[in-house]
Chain A
Amino acid sequence: MPTTREREPARPAKFSARGVMAFFGDKRVLHGIDLDIPAGEVTAIIGPSGCGKSTFIRCLNRMHELIPGARFEGTIELDGSSIYGREIDPVLLRRRAGMVFQKPNPFPTMSIRDNVLAGLRLTGSLDKTRAEEVVEFALKSSALWDEVKDRLKQPGIGLSGGQQQRLCIARALAVEPEVLLMDEPCSSLDPVATARIEDLIHELKSRYTIAIVTHNMQQAARVSGRTAFFLQGELVEVGATDRIFTAPTDSRTEDYITGKFG
């Protein structure tokens, strides 16, 4: 019986990536990634800077291809159907997989309320009679409601960094995605704001499939059920977070999590 090999994840795969290669111009930054993101669970992707972890999750919602000169090879399936098929509209895909970025990026010309509704407005799918309901739902889901409910008309950029990031999470949740892709969402936040976002991830994981990129190993250990370790564009190891941090099978994983490099 293989003890060091990971058993298949109990949950079905939401995203299933096979042979994913990503390029910037002629430079290949991902060298064939096979990785499943199981449904209804938090998957953390860790690794040193430049290992391709951000590029990988940007392939999941096809944001990678927006960069001039960027290219993708391989297959990624969402719920069993390819997202890179010719008939797939990346715009519709992105509504199913929301994204939160490294630096909070609320729209500076919009109020808190309008920021939350931005996704629905920009896609022309806002039902005006449901607007208040959506705003309240999204802000409550992102644990921001109590702090901003009395100043929804004020500009979103007037909030603190941590609040802005939760506003961006609310904005992503308002379009009712199935997946939340988080690209180092706490890298520009202080420890208190980081803790709030991590609490929030715990609350959200029952409702959404979450993939979070982080360079902070403690964070990965705190929030995720599964962890994938990337190094120089390759997936070194993936498995239950507990096991990755206590009994990694690959020496490179061990060197990284024990702080020998990175």
Chain B
Amino acid sequence: MSDATVRSTKTRRGAGLGERAIELFLGACGVLSLFTTAGIIAVLAFETWAFFREVPLSAFFFDTEWTPLFADKHFGIWPLLAGTFLTSAIAIVLALPAGLLAAIYLSEFASARMRRVLKPALELLAGVPTLVYGYFALVLVTPLLQRVIPDLSGFNALSSGICIGIMIIPMISSLSEDAIYAVPNTLREGAYALGAGRLATIFRVVLPAAASGIAAALILAVSRAVGETMIVAIAAGQQPRLTLDPRVPIETMTAYIVQVSMGDTPADTLEYRTIFAVAAMLFVVTFAMNLVSHRLARRFRVAST
């Protein structure tokens, strides 16, 4: 009896060892992303700290010019922030209504066959390389817009913003559709049974019930627009300018980082460190938005159960 017990314990132990190895490996894979994030934050923090030893915080936040590559150096982040804000705002103004209406159509109106065709087609938009959108903005959208707006520069925030908007439509529509789809059908029935029409049911019962999910989708889309690089690097220009005029060349935070890291700025100089300070700023903005989005999405899950 004791013999059998010992043997069975041994096999258990052997299996336990194999299981532990697999568990460790899986755990390591999971932790890898954590280390990557930690590594990124560490590098950003280190270089940003080095930057702010030479440039005071007040110069960064209260100056209104960004000219670190010129002889007369200014380190005010606002022109880059304004550029990012402008292109992102244009993108959202275009993508939110378009994406939301597409989501409403797909979830509430489209036939099953229409859905089967439209949904993948829409999601294909998200798969187009952003480089292609950049060229699209530069050689197609800008010339077209120039026919309507004659004083539009060759590089401008407007056409980049429009193309970012097109790029994030599928993100908004797909996530919003999930949120709308998750609204229990009993609510729609409740509204119809009260004598509500289709539009009233959708806009006053279904959409409010899906609101936090839609808000989460919106914030994720904003953070995607803020981080978008290739389109603005190609089509928005390289002129940090504190303006909200969409017709003139500007520069976004991301485009500035591309400009410096692709150019001949030597490493370990103050000019070089500026990109880490800008990247840290960008990181803070998108990280904050992702946090808010997570919180909203969680509330939305609670509300829909």
B153 at the interface (CB under 8 A from A): no
Question: 1/0 per residue A55-99: CB within 8 Å of B?
Answer: 000000101001000000000000000000000000111110011
B103 at the interface (CB under 8 A from A): no
B200 touches A108 (CB 8 A): no
Please name the residue on chain B nearest to A120 by beta carbon: B194
Cross-chain contact of B195 among A66, A101, A103, A122 (Cβ < 8 A):
A122
A118 touches B192 (CB 8 A): no
A39 at the interface (CB under 8 A from B): no
Classify chain A's interface size. Answer: 20 to 34
Cross-chain contact of B200 among A103, A109, A123, A168 (Cβ < 8 A):
A123
What's the count of A-B pairs with C-beta under 8 Å? 72
A109 touches B190 (CB 8 A): no
A105 at the interface (CB under 8 A from B): yes
A119 touches B204 (CB 8 A): no
Question: B3 to nearest A CB, angstroms?
Answer: 57
Chain A contacts for B184, CB-based, 8 A: 105
Chain A contacts for B187, CB-based, 8 A: 105, 107-108
B208 touches A109 (CB 8 A): yes
B190 touches A91 (CB 8 A): no
A99 touches B193 (CB 8 A): yes
Cross-chain contact of B209 among A98, A103, A107, A118 (Cβ < 8 A):
A107
Question: 1/0 per residue A204-223: CB within 8 Å of B?
Answer: 00000000000000000000
Question: A51 to nearest B CB, angstroms?
Answer: 21
Question: A139 to nearest B CB, angstroms?
Answer: 16
Task: Report if A66-B204 is in contact (Cβ < 8 Å); known contacts: A91-B197, A105-B187, A108-B303.
Answer: no
Question: 1/0 per residue B193-208: CB within 8 Å of A?
Answer: 1111100110011001
Cα separation A63 to B193 with both chains bound (whole Å): 7
B209 touches A108 (CB 8 A): yes
A61 touches B193 (CB 8 A): yes
Cα separation A59 to B175 with both chains bound (whole Å): 35
A119 touches B186 (CB 8 A): no
Cα separation A92 to B197 with both chains bound (whole Å): 9
Chain B contacts for A98, CB-based, 8 A: 193-194
B195 touches A92 (CB 8 A): yes
Cross-chain contact of A95 among B190, B195, B208 (Cβ < 8 A):
B195
A121 at the interface (CB under 8 A from B): yes
A172 touches B194 (CB 8 A): yes
Chain B contacts for A42, CB-based, 8 A: none
A175 at the interface (CB under 8 A from B): yes
Chain A contacts for B205, CB-based, 8 A: 107, 118, 122
Chain A contacts for B186, CB-based, 8 A: 101, 103, 105
Residues of B in contact (CB 8 Å), total: 20
Chain B contacts for A53, CB-based, 8 A: none
Cross-chain contact of A168 among B190, B197, B201, B303 (Cβ < 8 A):
B190
Taking CB atoms and an 8 Å cut-off, the chain B residues in 171-194 that contact chain A are 184, 186-187, 189-194
A113 at the interface (CB under 8 A from B): no
Cα separation A94 to B189 with both chains bound (whole Å): 11
Chain B contacts for A124, CB-based, 8 A: 200
A94 touches B195 (CB 8 A): yes
A166 at the interface (CB under 8 A from B): no
B211 at the interface (CB under 8 A from A): yes
Chain A contacts for B303, CB-based, 8 A: 108
Cross-chain contact of A122 among B189, B200, B209 (Cβ < 8 A):
B200
Question: B212 to nearest A CB, angstroms?
Answer: 10
A226 at the interface (CB under 8 A from B): no
A172 touches B197 (CB 8 A): no
Please name the residue on chain A nearest to B304 by beta carbon: A108
Cα separation A171 to B196 with both chains bound (whole Å): 13
Chain A contacts for B196, CB-based, 8 A: 91, 119, 122-123
Question: B234 to nearest A CB, angstroms?
Answer: 43
Chain B contacts for A99, CB-based, 8 A: 193
Question: Which of B187, B194, B197, B200 has the most chain A CB within a 10 Å cutoff?
Answer: B194
Taking CB atoms and an 8 Å cut-off, the chain B residues in 192-236 that contact chain A are 192-197, 200-201, 204-205, 208-209, 211
Taking Cβ atoms with an 8 Å cutoff, the residues of A that contact B are 61, 63, 66, 91-95, 98-99, 101, 103, 105-109, 118-119, 121-124, 168, 171-172, 175
Question: Apart from A106-B190, A107-B205, A122-B200, what are 7 other A-B pairs with CB-CB below 8 Å?
Answer: A66-B189, A94-B194, A107-B190, A107-B208, A107-B209, A119-B195, A171-B190
Q: Which 7 A-B pairs have the closest CB atoms?
A: A95-B195, A119-B194, A122-B196, A99-B193, A105-B186, A109-B208, A94-B195
Q: List 30 A-B contacts (CB under 8 A).
A: A63-B189, A63-B192, A66-B189, A91-B195, A92-B195, A93-B195, A94-B195, A95-B195, A101-B190, A105-B186, A105-B189, A107-B187, A107-B190, A107-B205, A109-B209, A118-B194, A118-B205, A119-B196, A122-B195, A122-B200, A122-B201, A122-B204, A123-B194, A123-B195, A123-B197, A124-B200, A168-B190, A172-B193, A172-B194, A175-B194
